[in-house]
């Protein structure tokens, strides 16, 4: 399979992998895909649990102001967590799409392979370690 220039998800830039074919074996891609699918299922199950819990709690109006404040604080924290999970879910879906299109595992900035161990630890990674470090350094310099 030959990889052509590909559009980077969420960006207008294009990158060209420097290798013909795919450096990850089909077995490695299967493991990474399976891990992503399991992670996605966990996130979706957690979200459903939160919905069910909030639905159950909405009928519980007894207690003093302190109890209600505690419930509201808990719900706010849970909703923030769900928002982070929603963003994670989007990244998981993008990684699964990259696996299907053959773009998975290549740095969006350099076109170099990201590396199996990095992908195993962070399967949504879109940059190799060197590019990620340079990106974070630019962000720190920009903020500071």
- Looking at the 3D structure of the chain, how many domains does it have? 1
Phi, psi of 106 (to 5 degrees): -115, 140
123 belongs to a structural domain: yes
pLDDT digits (tens, 9 = 90+) for 71-93: 888 888 888 888 899 999 999 99
Domain span at residue 96 reads 23-143
pLDDT digits (tens, 9 = 90+) for 8-61: 333 434 445 455 556 899 999 999 999 999 999 999 998 888 888 777 766 556
Distance between CA atoms of residues 97 and 94, nearest Å? 5
Query: 6's torsion region: left (phi>0), alpha (psi -120 to 50) or beta?
Result: beta
How much is the pTM?
A: 0.72
Q: List, as one string, the DSSP characters of 81-100.
A: HHHHHHHHHHHHHHHHHHHH
For the record, the structure tokens of 102 come out as 């053959």
SS3 75: helix
34 belongs to a structural domain: yes
Report whether 144 contacts 122 (CB < 8 A).
no
């Amino acid at each position: 399979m030959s990889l052509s220039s590909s559009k980077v998800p969420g960006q207008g830039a294009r990158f060209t992998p420097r290798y013909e074919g795919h450096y990850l074996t089909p077995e490695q891609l299967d493991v990474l895909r399976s891990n992503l699918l399991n992670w996605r299922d966990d996130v979706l199950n957690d979200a459903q649990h939160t919905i069910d819990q909030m639905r159950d709690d909405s009928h519980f109006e007894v207690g003093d102001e302190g109890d209600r404040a505690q419930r509201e604080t808990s719900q706010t924290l849970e909703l923030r967590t769900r928002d982070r999970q929603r963003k994670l879910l989007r990244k998981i879906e993008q990684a699964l799409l990259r696996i299907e299109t053959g773009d998975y595992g290549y740095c969006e900035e350099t076109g170099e392979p990201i590396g199996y161990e990095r992908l195993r630890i962070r399967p949504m990674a879109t940059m190799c370690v060197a590019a990620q470090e340079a990106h974070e350094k630019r962000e720190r310099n920009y903020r500071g």
